[in-house]
Amino acid sequence: MSPTSAPGKAPAGGTAGRRAARPGVHRHPLTRFLVRRVATALLLAVGITLVTFVLTNLVPGDPATANLGQRALGDPALVAQWRAEHGLDEPLPKQYLLHLSGVLQGDLGTSQQSHRPVAEDLAEFVPATIELAGAAIVVSLILGVAFGVIAALRRDRLADQVLRVTSLIGISVPTFWLALVAFYIFFFRLQIAPGSGRLDPGMTPPPKVTGLHTVDAVLAGQWDVFASAAGHLALPALVLALYTIGLLTRFTRSAVLEVLGQDYVRAARAKGLPGRTILFRYVLRSALVPIITVAGLAFGSLLSGTVLVEAIFAWPGIGQYAYKSATALDLPAVMGVGLVVGAVYLVINLIVDVLYGVIDPRVRLS
Amino acid sequence: MSRLSRRRRRLPEAWRRPLAVVGGVIALTWLIVAVAAPLLAPYDPLAQELPRLAPPGPDHWFGTDQLGRDIFSRVLYGARVSIPLTLLLVVLSVLIGGLLGACAGYFGRWVDETVMRFADLVFAFPTVILAMVVAAALGASLTNAVLAVLVVAWPSYARVTRGLVMGMREREFVLSGRLLGFSAWRSLRLDVLPNVTGPILVLATLDIGTALLLLSGLSFLGLGAKPPSPEWGAMVSSGVEVFDSWWVATFPGLAILTVVLAFNFLGDTLRDALDPRTARAIKVRAL
Amino acid sequence: MTLTISNLQVSIGGAKILRGVDLALQPGKVHGLAGESGSGKTMTGLATLGLLPHGATTSGRVDLAGRDLLTMPVRELNQVRGKEVAMVFQDPATSLHPMLTVGRQLTEHMRHHLRLDKATARAKAFELLGKVRIPGAEAALKRYPHQFSGGMRQRIAIAVALACSPKVLIADEPTTALDVTVQAGVLRLLRSLCDDLGLAVLLVTHDLGVMSAVADEVSVMKDGLVVETGPRERVLRTPSHAYTRSLLDALPGETA
């Protein structure tokens, strides 16, 4: 993907699977690789907290102004007390180090908004977003890959043209607007979609295991809860997925076309294998490697989308939490979100790398 | 399955062009609207003197909003807000990202490390979340929203430019220039930059859409344009409050959609015209 | 079984690639097809099995035991491909799928064409690897192409081609991508398979040295036409066509 970098230097993240065969590796390549990945993610998490810290401190916005009422702001003593309570009277570097040392002990600080430990807030909101974004990426992968394969096999024909235009529309629709329109049509007009939130009003969430209501409901065997959770999940997940479906359609198409031009596909045809076998065994297997790379990147854009989609569907996830804490300049909460993002980045990259190994024996065996 | 065809051939020109033509016409129309909005708009976009929440009809093609303003006029005026800012945003990202990326690719070593680690950091962060934090920290205003988008937009140019420049650096004509004693800047300017402009232009065209989506998204969240302004994202946001009056949010959203779509049509066609390897580098980065 | 190509014409996007090619392959004989790159020899091989690139049009006749492969429906043609007529490609590094085991690629078409069960197909694959002299066949079946050297990979590709006991083998520059030291071994293998199994082999190559080593019959192509054809000795020693002479002159060292 990128040109060879200077000797002894790793290419930027993402395509790490390919560096497995570097010479001069002492330790087991997998160990080395994992160490490097975790180090990158840690660096990233520290970088993210530092950036958010600097941003929220070196700029005009004042957390006190954002959090205290007009009357309290007129009283300097009250403001000072509030600042002291939240450690804002310490020098900045010390504030940051205090925060970091807290993080290492599992203490992410207390949200100035909810007055609860940030870790508790995150534990409550993160699963909702994982459920939403997870459903969206699954839908995107299934539909995007299917559409992309069809477009490639029907190249230059009507189906390809139609899919080209529709996938471009998919990546052009403003997510927040689509969410609103979908809500209006399917909830307000047609009344086939349930309202906002994760469950029907009055329904008790299933016993928490994973935090994903759909999964937990199945685990507990509560099928009515599952139906409700899945029903509430469907529309926001589809809205969120539209962009990534378009993206993956376009990308899969070009990946498949590229594989179709490979010698081994012609060799497979020369063996007289049926077309379906060639498609699934020969073509898709190879095309999956670049597709997985892009799907990993696309997950980031899904997280972006959640901020906008969660707002419309009143989905109590990390996107809304990030929005509320960012606008309130709730520093501990914002940094907590940063940590979550770093962790997600790490997990996604690990999944992508493991999948490389599963699909491609050259990665696995070298 | 005889359709598992071996070679990739370009679409016949006649088939590929309509998309670019449609995109070009829509984009051009919006540019004209942005310039001529005062001549085209039937009403003052800010005047609150019409019946409230009137549905679309012969008097008000797009209806009126909850404050009694003509939505058609506001959508037209919205082009003056969003389009110039979006273009400016992309130009600035190209300049900043391109320059940093070119330096990283050309000088390598610590320059490369510093710039690219920074770019990685931004890349790892979901764009909306980072832009939101920046915009919130700077304070809600359209200018700050532009700055926030700029923060998340430059790295894709830096990466692409870096890759192209690194490939270019080893080419003969650049090396011979160095041997002839041209300064690094001179060879960067004369040999390298002209060769990276094509791909960067394609990326920029595709990025206009992304930038507009992000910018209007921030306004939608209340972190960009402020209420009286006929900014499209903010207009959609005001439609949330009265969402049973569907026209309030629908038309500004369609405006965003058509502009983004126009530039994506253009960019996608342009990308096909590039050689496949460069196109692939851009495809991955344009996420 | 003989394969007869008569008046084969191919054009791609308006350009005439083949302008009426005639060839006849006999069982137990290696027919060498020579010519420079661009002369159409590879296209001749591909056209025989209907493997031409998207958008190519063909006319003429490719006759296999009374059936015309060119006009045959794809379903029927798939019964010929790999089963009656098999192919070996130029570069074994790209013509074997990098992510499938050698065993899988050796057995999948046997199981499909010959309806063999897994164990039988594996036993046959084991036998085939021995025939193409791959050591440690049992382990080799579980390995992937990238774990073999270039010469070994081409032997594997030949084993893949032979798996369903085809009557005709089309080998497209099978030694071009290999080291010179490895080439001779692969050629000897092809020759002996041809003799032992009574295969009709079409050996496409630009290398007259390769040709002189194994071919019984030689045809020389230029600009989409066969300009000279005949027994190896006659064509290579007393070329009648000026183009063949120029090809021979360009060869470093001696001829045959």
How far C28 CA lies from chain B's nearest CA (Å)? 31
Q: Cα separation of C98 and C110, whole Å? A: 20
- C112, closest residue in chain A (CA to CA): A273
Put simply, whether B86 touches A (Cβ < 8 Å) is no
Domain boundary among C130, C161, C192: C161
Higher pLDDT, B18 or B234: B234
Q: Between the ranges A169-173, B37-41, B130-134, where is the mean pLDDT highest?
A: A169-173
pLDDT band at C256 (very low <50, low <70, confident <90, very high): very low
Higher pLDDT, B4 or C151: C151
Kindly report the CA angle at B193 between B192 and B198, in degrees rounded to 5?
Answer: 115
pLDDT at A358: 83
pLDDT at C168: 92
**Helix (H) or strand (E) run with residue C222 in it:** strand C217-222
Q: C129 and C19, same structural domain?
A: no
3-state secondary structure A123-181: HHHHHHHHHHHHHHHHHHHHHHHHHHHHHHHCCCCHHHHHHHHHHHHHCCCCHHHHHHH
Each residue of C49-79: pLDDT tens digit? 988 887 788 999 999 988 999 989 988 999 9
Ramachandran class of A150: left when φ > 0, alpha when ψ lies in -120 to 50, beta otherwise: alpha
Each residue of C117-150: pLDDT tens digit? 999 999 999 988 988 888 888 889 999 999 998 8
Question: Buried b vs exposed e over C192-207: b needs ≥16 C-beta within 10 Å?
Answer: ebbeebebbbbbbbbe
Domain boundary among C115, C135, C161: C161
Q: What proportion of chain B, given as a percentage, has pLDDT over 70?
A: 81
Q: Is the separation of the CB atoms in C207 and C23 below 8 Å?
A: no
Q: What is the DSSP string of C147-202?
A: GS-HHHHHHHHHHHHHTT--SEEEEESTTTTS-HHHHHHHHHHHHHHHHHHT-EEE
Q: Cα separation of C47 and C62, whole Å? A: 9
Put simply, whether C160 touches A (Cβ < 8 Å) is yes
How far A343 CA lies from chain C's nearest CA (Å)? 31
**Helix (H) or strand (E) run with residue C204 in it:** strand C200-204
Amino acid at B171: R
Question: Which residues on chain C place their C-beta less than 8 Å from a C-beta of chain B?
Answer: 13, 50-55, 74
Q: What proportion of chain C, given as a percentage, has pLDDT over 70?
A: 97
pLDDT at A8: 33
Looking only at the bridges linking them, the beta strands covering C56-64 and C67-68 are: antiparallel
**Sequence-separated (6 or more) residues with CB below 8 Å from residue A241:** A135, A136, A137, A139, A140, A143, A302
**Sequence-separated (6 or more) residues with CB below 8 Å from residue A158:** none
Amino acid at C164: C
Q: How many CB atoms lie within 10 A of CB A89?
A: 12
- B221, closest residue in chain A (CA to CA): A308
The domain containing residue C127 runs over which residues?
Answer: 93-161
**Sequence-separated (6 or more) residues with CB below 8 Å from residue A333:** A111, A112, A113, A114, A118, A121, A321, A324, A325
Each residue of B141-181: pLDDT tens digit? 888 899 989 988 999 889 888 888 877 766 666 666 666 76
Mean pLDDT of all residues in A94-107: 78
- Pick C49's closest partner by Cβ from A264, A270, A285: A270
CATH 1.10.3720.10 applies to domain B43-278? yes
Q: What is the C-alpha R_g of chain B? A: 22
- Cβ-in-10-Å burial (0-12, 13-18, 19+) of A205 comes to middle
HSE-CB for C171 with a 13 A CA cutoff: 36
pLDDT at A137 over 90: yes
pLDDT at A297: 85
Domain boundary among C161, C183, C201: C161
* Residues, chain B: 287
Torsion sign across C-alpha atoms B270, B271, B272, B278: positive
Here the CATH number for the domain that contains residue C27 is: 3.40.50.300
Give C146's contacts in chain A (Cβ within 8 Å): 361-362
Mean pLDDT of all residues in A225-233: 90
Each residue of A252-283: pLDDT tens digit? 998 999 898 888 999 999 999 998 999 999 99
For B224, phi and psi rounded to 5 degrees?
Answer: -125, -120
Residue matched to tokens 């685990």 = A219
Complex prediction ipTM: 0.88
Residue matched to tokens 């804002």 = A88
From A93-107, A259-273, B216-230, B261-275, the region with the lowest mean pLDDT: A93-107
Higher pLDDT, C179 or A317: A317
pLDDT at A68: 65
Give A286's contacts in chain C (Cβ within 8 Å): 97-99
Q: What would the two tokens of residue B72 be?
A: 């058609």
pLDDT at A28: 61
> Domain locations in chain B?
43-278
Mean pLDDT of all residues in A102-108: 78
How far A363 CA lies from chain C's nearest CA (Å)? 10
Ramachandran class of A329: left when φ > 0, alpha when ψ lies in -120 to 50, beta otherwise: left
pLDDT at C176: 83
Mean per-residue pLDDT of chain A: 81
Inter-CA distances, B138 with A65, A70, B131, B196, B223, Å: 14, 20, 10, 34, 10
Torsion sign across C-alpha atoms A95, A99, A102, A107: positive
- Pick A271's closest partner by Cβ from C82, C90, C144: C82
Tally of structural domains, chain C? 2
Residues C78, A263: C-beta atoms closer than 8 Å? no
How far B37 CA lies from chain A's nearest CA (Å)? 23
Q: C212 and C172, same structural domain?
A: yes
Read off the DSSP letter of residue C146: G
Residues B246, A184: C-beta atoms closer than 8 Å? yes
- Pick B243's closest partner by Cβ from A175, A184, A323: A184
Domains recognised in chain A with CATH numbers:
118-364 (1.10.3720.10)
Q: C173 and C121, same structural domain?
A: no
Residues B7, C54: C-beta atoms closer than 8 Å? yes
pLDDT at C174: 87
Residues C53, B2: C-beta atoms closer than 8 Å? no
